[in-house]
Structure 1
Amino acid sequence: MIELAWFDALDAERQAAVEDMLALAVEYDAEAGFSTARPSAPGVGSVRHLVVTIAPVGQRGSGALDALPDVPLVAYLRLDLVDGVGDVQLVVRPEFRSHGIATLMAELLAGPDGWSALPGLREVRSWSHGAHPAAERMARRFGARVEHGVFKTLRLLGGSRPYRAERAEVRLDPAPGRPPVLVPGHEDAMAPHELAVLRAASELLSVGGVPGAVRLGVGATVPVTAGLAVEDPRVSRDALRVLLGQGLIEAQARGARVAQLFVDALVDDFVAVSRELGFEHDQSDHLYALAV
């Protein structure tokens, strides 16, 4: 019913078909933030593209599937392969979701035309956004394990939930480049509005005598949201508490009513301090890994 085809590069026709499908998916998933699997983005290691097509209407073996559009492709997978580990981004065309397409893909990928067709591939990994309804079910079915996790946390500011603490003398400098990557690949699992808040953190806040720094930025969102990003989450618990606390004070003084912070779930002190400061869990993003 569906067919898989691997390509080292996409020709103009396939590239256009993938881009059209991704445009639909981006709009459909705007709030959920599922991966858009950008085919033209710079690669990490060697890049492979998997294009998934479906039989014509009338030959799909299901009345429900025959009622869906006659389109050139129904799913796209991008794999970036480095040292035997492939980072995967997968998008299924919105109209074809909840019809077993991803399940069929997983079954075919386990066969001779799937992962084994890529020499040197030992493991595949994929991030799942916390709101994705099928991720955990698919992971259980195909034996994937949770390799890592990131918590999205929010802290209300001002109004009835002000943050109160003694203000220290801080230094604010322009932050170089983008915020550091908390966990490799996690940004691909973030919703566009989450990523915009994170990348707006354009100032670097430091406190004399305290190791590390925190990035800070207050955008024009409603409600006004501040992005906070710790430069090095493995500094001491005391340092994290001071840096994040002063970041909250500064954000609140600038009129922010919400602070967004992504927390590495495997750094215990980072998790503990975020809770102490009143950040509340909003969602969990998981990195799944599967030996092939």
Structure 2
Amino acid sequence: MISYRWCDELAVGDRDEVLALVRRAADFDAEAGFSAVDPRDVDTLSSDAQRVWHLPIKARRDLSARDDAPWVVVAYLRLVVGVDGLGSVQFVVDPDYRSRGIATLLVEELGLDTMSGDGWAGTGARVLRVWSYGSHPAAERLTTRFGVPAVRRQWTLLRHLSGPWAEPLDPVTTEATLSEPVAATAIGAEMTELLAAATVPRRHRDSLSRADDSGLAITASLSGEPAGYVRFDPALHEHEELRAAWLGALVVSDRASGRGLGSALLVRALVALRDAGAQVALMRIDPDDERVMRMCRLLSFEQDEAHACYQVEDLRRETENDLCKTLTHANLGGSVL
């Protein structure tokens, strides 16, 4: 038996339990690369642009049948609904209560009807989307059981920078001039100009235009005009017991496309990450982009993890990156274009 109630702001006691749960779950899932809820999101409130719902799910401690057993928060769901009815879902179960039917029972009780009345469970959501990062068996079982299709994919790619599996990082010959790494904040206007000059799918363009200003960037110019850039974050974290760092967005203008500029920028960024102490570099890509996949294979990247975006209702809608957002602590863990 579970108990839950939608709210637009968590009560003090529930907030403390939810915060403890999402932090404990993030630590537990870090090595596997599963989705994580940012603790800051627990305090988000609604605005004119979106409605934010919080749903702490409670059960009796240890799922006891005793009436005197205390109720505790065993799972947490966060739903952000845009003005157009698109709902972005984040959901996490306490590690101590997994594989015990909590998620299945919640879906059975709430249902997945988004078209009746005020949308899903009265929240206003007409479409539900959620990213499952990593090959999460529980997510696969749940979506299969309730017939929820995957509408978009991402892969995390890994490239060894040192050690026995590291291939040489030979510079790529290019007619462009590449800059030294600079703070991304210093070239915001230039990156905006380049993004406008590149053929980028809308789902990527929206997320890139709202990317934060952390990390570093290397720019490229042709005949004195901006031609491309790559973003990366040299901050190190542990990945499979190795020091890892993230590559972010790679953008090349249409006029510079096909000249090897993307490969040249990536290699320069990889060298910078290696020099910063990273043993492996990570990035996320769209596996359906054959051009990017080929470039990455030639640069000795290999698939590390697979991710899927699941959607309920209206499968004709394009899957946007702002809703299917990257659930990672890495600020620049976005798609490479």
Query: By the TM > 0.5 criterion, same fold?
Result: yes
Rounded Cα–Cα distance in structure 2 between residues aligned with 1:57 and 1:204: 49
> Is residue 220–residue 229 contact of structure 2 (8 Å, CA) maintained in 1?
yes
After the TM superposition, which of the residue ranges 70-79 and 87-96 deviates more from structure 2? Answer: 70-79
> Is residue 225–residue 259 contact of structure 1 (8 Å, CA) maintained in 2?
yes
After the TM superposition, which of the residue ranges 276-285 and 13-22 deviates more from structure 2? Answer: 13-22
Return the letter of the residue paired with 1:47: V
Residue in 2 that maps onto 1:23: 23
Pair 1:47–1:55, CA change in 2 (3 A): same
Rounded Cα–Cα distance in structure 2 between residues aligned with 1:90 and 1:182: 24
Give TM-score, length-normalised by structure 1: 0.78
Residue in 2 that maps onto 1:191: none
Residue in 2 that maps onto 1:117: 121
Q: Deviations over 1:141-195 (max 9, x none)?
A: 112111222211111124542222346642033212999996989xxxxxxxxxx
Pair 1:241–1:157, CA change in 2 (3 A): same
Residue in 2 that maps onto 1:108: 109
Residue in 2 that maps onto 1:240: 262
1:265 paired to 2:271: no
2:151 paired residue among 137, 147, 168: 147
> How far is the alpha carbon of 1:274 from its aligned partner?
1.3
Residue in 2 that maps onto 1:46: 51
How many corresponding residue pairs?
273
> How far is the alpha carbon of 1:140 from its aligned partner?
1.3
> How far is the alpha carbon of 1:133 from its aligned partner?
2.1
Rounded Cα–Cα distance in structure 2 between residues aligned with 1:96 and 1:234: 49
Rounded Cα–Cα distance in structure 1 between residues aligned with 2:103 and 2:118: 13
- 1:8-19 pair list within 5 angstroms: 8-19=8-19
Q: Deviations over 1:108-140 (max 9, x none)?
A: 121799963325321111111114221112111
> Is residue 221–residue 228 contact of structure 2 (8 Å, CA) maintained in 1?
no
Rounded Cα–Cα distance in structure 1 between residues aligned with 2:206 and 2:307: 13
Rounded Cα–Cα distance in structure 2 between residues aligned with 1:174 and 1:230: 14
SS at match of 2:179: strand
Rounded Cα–Cα distance in structure 1 between residues aligned with 2:278 and 2:59: 48
1:218 paired residue among 225, 234, 253: 234
**Which runs of no fewer than 5 residues in structure 1 stay unpaired?**
61-65, 186-197
Rounded Cα–Cα distance in structure 1 between residues aligned with 2:72 and 2:118: 20
1:156 paired to 2:160: yes
Rounded Cα–Cα distance in structure 1 between residues aligned with 2:278 and 2:288: 28
> How far is the alpha carbon of 1:56 from its aligned partner?
6.8
Question: Cα RMSD between the aligned structures?
Answer: 3.6
Rounded Cα–Cα distance in structure 1 between residues aligned with 2:179 and 2:10: 48
> How far is the alpha carbon of 1:259 from its aligned partner?
1.7
Rounded Cα–Cα distance in structure 1 between residues aligned with 2:64 and 2:271: 62
**Which runs of no fewer than 5 residues in structure 2 stay unpaired?**
196-202, 315-337
> Is residue 88–residue 128 contact of structure 2 (8 Å, CA) maintained in 1?
yes
Residue in 2 that maps onto 1:204: 217
SS at match of 2:307: strand
Residue in 2 that maps onto 1:132: 136
Residue in 2 that maps onto 1:171: 179
Rounded Cα–Cα distance in structure 1 between residues aligned with 2:216 and 2:133: 27
SS at match of 2:297: helix
> Is residue 224–residue 258 contact of structure 1 (8 Å, CA) maintained in 2?
yes
After the TM superposition, which of the residue ranges 99-108 and 117-126 deviates more from structure 2? Answer: 117-126
> Is residue 236–residue 245 contact of structure 2 (8 Å, CA) maintained in 1?
no
> How far is the alpha carbon of 1:71 from its aligned partner?
4.0
Pair 1:24–1:221, CA change in 2 (3 A): closer
Pair 1:20–1:50, CA change in 2 (3 A): same
Give TM-score, length-normalised by structure 2: 0.68
Residue in 1 that maps onto 2:249: 230
SS at match of 1:281: strand
Pair 1:13–1:152, CA change in 2 (3 A): same
Pair 1:253–1:94, CA change in 2 (3 A): closer
